[in-house]
Amino acid sequence: MYSRFSELYDLLTFDIDYQKYASNILGFIEKENISKPNMLEIGCGTGNLTQELAKEGYSILAFDNSMDMLNVAFPKLIDLENVNVVMQDMYKFAYLNYEFDVIISLLDVINYILDPDKIEKLFKNIYSGLREGGLFIFDINSEDKLLNVLGNNTYIYERENVFYTWENTLDDDLVYFDLNFFVKEDGLYERFKETQVERYYSIEFIKSLLEKVGFVQIEFIDEDTAMPVNEKTQRILFKAKK
Ligand SMILES: C[S@@+](CC[C@H](N)C(=O)[O-])C[C@H]1O[C@@H](n2cnc3c(N)ncnc32)[C@H](O)[C@@H]1O
């Protein structure tokens, strides 16, 4: 997962409005009157959101378990004094001996967790990694996006020198993405494949886990419109308070 795809990630996420996603996060932080939070970002990927949030002057520790993704992130973040980046698995971050004001995790990171018990364990770690009153802000893909839009559908795209097919297979709550990339270089196409799997989790399930772990004041919005979630919402942004 996220090996060679990492090289293309930024090209293929052209439709993600990281500025907007960062401003949603800022909105939650400002509402709580948290000034200059110390922030942990889980699954920072190629650092696009990190870059946006770093502009606010926040101190950010960002991690990901894919060195290929981090290799794309490093050049963007290396000169930012308020950002530190490490390679780390999200299931083990509780060993960090620190309490953050805000912990964030955006763009499907939670949907990549296929075992619901592991989400509970992660949420517990996040809870203990936050100071009292701290916020956990994260998103999940919606039911419509995973089960209908992706579902069993195939998509074909062409962006600059990359032609790729995105074949999805739905198996109960799991969606398998079979990606075939054809990258043009010197008049020839190089082909490589990558398979990823995401799991659908309902809002009710996520909310009940957060409550079980001890989070309060749980809110969720449509991440793209910052409006209430409806049946066409594609990404759901959650905020939960310790
Ligand atoms: C869709 S990308 C999102 C990246 C980034 N958050 C963004 O906004 O573009 C999902 C990220 O989760 C990371 N990830 C998946 N499992 C992980 C784990 N166990 N520990 C840390 N990161 C993980 C992947 O490597 C990938 O970079």
Tell me if 112 CB under 6 Å of ligand 1.
yes
For CATH 2.20.25.110, list the domain ranges present in the chain: 145-198
**Does residue 2 have a pLDDT over 90?**
no
Tell me if 108 CB under 6 Å of ligand 1.
yes
Ligand 1 atom having least distance to the Cα of 108: 1
Ligand 1 atom having least distance to the Cα of 105: 6
Average pLDDT over residues 15-19: 94
d(CA 123, CA 136): 9
Ligand 1 atom having least distance to the Cα of 18: 8
Report the predicted TM-score, pTM, of the whole model to 2 decimal places: 0.96
- CA–centroid distance, 2 to ligand 1, in Å, is 8
Tell me if 93 CB under 6 Å of ligand 1.
no
Residue of the nearest CA to atom 14 in ligand 1? 43
Average pLDDT over residues 156-180: 96
d(CA 137, CA 239): 5
Whole-number average pLDDT of the chain: 94
pLDDT at 35: 87
**Does residue 134 have a pLDDT over 90?**
yes
d(CA 139, CA 123): 13
pLDDT at 95: 63
Average pLDDT over residues 71-92: 94
Q: What is the tens place of the pLDDT at every residue in 196-220? A: 999 999 999 999 999 999 999 999 9
Residue of the nearest CA to atom 17 in ligand 1? 65
- CA–centroid distance, 186 to ligand 1, in Å, is 31
For CATH 3.40.50.150, list the domain ranges present in the chain: 5-142+200-241
Q: Which CATH class is domain 145-198?
A: mainly beta
Q: What is the tens place of the pLDDT at every residue in 93-129? A: 776 678 999 999 999 999 999 999 999 999 999 999 9
d(CA 133, CA 102): 9
User: Side by side, which strands form the sheet with 174-185?
Assistant: 154-159, 162-171, 174-185, 188-199
Tell me if 177 CB under 6 Å of ligand 1.
no
CATH number of the domain at 5-142+200-241, please?
3.40.50.150
Average pLDDT over residues 2-19: 88
Helix ranges, 13-150 (H): 18-31, 48-54, 67-77, 116-129, 143
Tell me if 43 CB under 6 Å of ligand 1.
yes
